[in-house]
Amino acid sequence: MNIPVELPSGKIVNIDRFIALLPVTSREREYILILDGYPEPINLEPKDADALKDFLQLDAEIVVKTNNSGWEKTKQLQQNKRAIASLLPGGQIALLAKRIERHKNMSQTESWQRRELFEEFQQTIDAQRLPGQKLYSQS
Instruction: Mark the ranges of the chain whose per-residue pLDDT is less than 70.
Output: 1, 26-27, 58-70, 82, 84-91, 93, 139
pLDDT at position 79: 79
Q: Is residue 98 part of a domain?
A: yes
pLDDT at position 61: 47
Mean pLDDT of the chain: 79
3-class SS at 127? helix
What single-letter amino acid sits at 134?
K
Q: Is residue 80 part of a domain?
A: no
pLDDT at position 60: 42
Tell me the β-bridge partners of 31: 23, 44
Q: Is residue 24 part of a domain?
A: yes
Q: Is residue 10 part of a domain?
A: yes
Total domain count, the chain: 2
Helix-, strand-, coil-residue percentages of the chain, each rounded to 5? 45, 15, 40
Q: Is residue 76 part of a domain?
A: no
Q: Is residue 44 part of a domain?
A: yes
List pLDDT tens digits, range 46-77. 888 888 888 887 644 444 444 455 677 788 87
Q: Is residue 136 part of a domain?
A: no
As a whole number of angstroms, the distance between CA 10 and CA 6 comes to 6
Which residue segment(s) compose the domain that 121 sits in?
90-127
